Chains A and B, each alone.
Chain A
Amino acid sequence: MKLAAYYLERLKGNKTAIIGLAFIIFLVLTALIGPFFTVSPTQVNFSEKNLPPIGFSSEQSEYSAKVGGLVMTNMHGTWKHPLGTDGMGRDLLSQLISGARVSLLVGLLATGLAIVIGAIIGVSSAYFGGIADSILMRFTDIMITFPFLLLLILIVYMFGSSLALIILSIGLTGWTGTARLVRSETLSLRTRDFVIASKALGASDLRIIFYHLLPNTISSIIVLATLSIPGAILAEAALSFIGLGDPQVASWGNILNAGQNDLQAAWWIAVEPGIMLFFTVISFNFLGEGLRDAFDPKGDYN
């Protein structure tokens, strides 16, 4: 725990990392308690469609029975829908909060799965060596050769696009980086004295792997995990954006997909989820780089 406090102290000196961390905490809190304060994200209300956010106004064409045709009316943002509404009158603020839940869920679960698979494959590959190493690494090479997004599209096309399946596929395809990193770190650890001593004392393979090898790679894994979360979030958003996401949930990618056709009439539908995605991704990148510097023992000299 002392060590954790030491690293935290070093992280505090990094302004951008702290800003990133603050935004992530804000996002998590919003995703957790936000839904209690907002209207349902799926509530359709055609009389309030394409409302601009507060402080903006926009010209909308609307059918008027008196004129017997379309008339242009000037709409203003209302406090009822602070960030405006989409083409079906659904509240964008609550959709964005729902999107935050989806993105965080995808980022954490998919990355967690990828890290676990990658760590197991990497550490076994390096520890057992020989034929096991060759087979596992060739398997990793084959996985790396498939472009990530293309493979995801193929899987989602074949097996359907529920959110659970998307999370699973991102996790099952995204472990290659971790496997290579853990393998190279384990290779150098394997011949160190404390591992050899432990082996000489009769420790089992599992004990050596879980007590000596993996704990010593944990700082690299934490950094890699933090920097992988944006990739997972963006992968889900990209899938939803091209129309292959889970149609049942309001994710940022789904909102962007809907907003693409409404750029002319309602620019805010496409702008708002993108800003959230951008801030989320850059926050994780800032935090990840900050953690890397904090863990790097050479960091003091630079």
Chain B
Amino acid sequence: MDRSYLAKRLLHALIIAWGVMTASFFLMRIGPHSPADKYLATLGAGHNVSQVTAAIESRYGVDRPLYEQYFNYINSLLHGDWGWSFSTSMPVSDLIKIHWAYSFQLIFLSSILAIILGISLGIFTAARKNTKADHIATFFSFAGISIPNFWLGMMLILIFSVKLGWFKTYYDTGLPMFSLSNLYALILPVITLATGMVAGYGRFVRSSMLENMNKDFVRTARAKGLPESVVLRKHVFRNALLPVVTIIMLDMSGIIFGGAYITEFIFGIPGLGWMSLKAVFSDDYSVVMAVTLIGAFVTLFFNLVADIAYTYLDPRIRYE
């Protein structure tokens, strides 16, 4: 692979990472939340307000010049210091260590399921283009893309938990993570998160396959008498896979982060989204910001991987 391309791509990612941190710093500064407000709200009468405010502001460094605050902020982020959580009285980094695994298991299982089912659905419908099966599958893909996942989650709870009683109506955090009962408890959340992804990937794989179906190399493969299944598998699908890899990587951000956030809320799974929402309601600023930043950094990472994977899989692509 081209060395200079890789270097440029990494530099590009570093610039964006810097931009993300800078944007978050300014969002924090223009926001109406000062660390002193929270303490003052919990303090009773009889305190010297201006003294307390000054003490807290100096403790948090808010009284320093702006450029110094900025460098301190970036510096502490880079050293893994993500601030202090007021509502739980522990460093945000410790809080993340407690909660990340719950988000990870949900996102990991849903992605695996969605990739397998989505790609199968795409191949199945592309091979049967414009048949009745294709039309029905296309209709369900549209439905899957359009159904709001928070509503889908609630309907699953209503039908399978409330009416049929097959599952608990909430996620049981007492279960050991690597156990069948935990896997069973994750069935409804995974369906909630994966439905939109399956439908989206399915439609994307289908159109990517169809684009390749009329290419010369496919005609050649057919002309030399290869069976249709081999043509589809080795010639059409291999080439259709490339954009699919990218879209799945890029998708890791929007649908997964937003979707996982909401899914955790519906089922009470104590992941990062649940943690962030709890922090919103207990007015715990640094936690909300940390989760947003983690979302941005993970997105950035996957975008970088997607780009590099793309050039690796298709040597024709070069920067600019």
Contacts and interface: CB of A to CB of B under 8 A. Distances in A.
Interface stretch (A4-12, A68-76, A148-156): A148-156
Interface in B1-44: 12, 15-16, 19-20, 23, 27, 31-33
A149 B261 contact: yes
Q: Which 7 A-B pairs have the closest CB atoms?
A: A149-B258, A274-B151, A282-B146, A147-B257, A142-B19, A147-B295, A158-B31
Nearest to B23: A142
B306 interface: no
A237 interface: yes
B31 A159 contact: yes
B308 interface: no
B272 to A, nearest CB: 10
Interface string A131-164: 0000000110110111111110110011100000
B249 interface: no
A274 B281 CA distance: 25
B288 A153 contact: yes
B137 interface: no
Which of B146, B265, B266, B289 has the largest number of chain A CB atoms within 10 A? Answer: B146
B142 interface: yes
Which of B154, B266, B303 has the largest number of chain A CB atoms within 10 A? Answer: B154
B291 A150 contact: yes
Interface residues of A, number: 42
A16 B262 CA distance: 30
B258 A274 contact: no
Interface in A207-242: 230, 234, 237-238, 241-242
Contact of A242 (B151, B155, B157, B265): B265
Main secondary structure, interface of A, reads helix
5 contacts: A141-B16, A146-B296, A154-B27, A260-B154, A286-B142
Interface in A32-79: none
Contact of A256 (B20, B150, B289): B150
Interface of B: 12, 15-16, 19-20, 23, 27, 31-33, 142-143, 145-148, 150-151, 154-155, 157-158, 162, 169, 253-254, 257-258, 261-262, 265-266, 276-277, 280-281, 288-289, 291-292, 295-296, 299-300, 303
Interface string A244-278: 10000000000010011001100100110110011
A106 to B, nearest CB: 14
Nearest to A278: B147
Which of B31, B143, B150, B162 has the largest number of chain A CB atoms within 10 A? Answer: B150
Main secondary structure, interface of B, reads helix
Nearest to B17: A145
B158 A267 contact: yes
A263 B158 contact: yes
B1 to A, nearest CB: 22
Nearest to A283: B146
Contacts of A230: 146
Given A256-B150, A274-B151, A153 B280 contact: yes
Contacts of A87: none
B154 A150 contact: no
Given A145-B300, A158-B32, A237 B261 contact: no
A157 B148 contact: no
Given A145-B20, A147-B295, A285-B146, A256 B151 contact: yes
B254 A234 contact: no
A286 B147 CA distance: 13
Contacts of B292: 146-147, 150-151, 153-154
A278 B146 contact: yes
Nearest to A280: B146
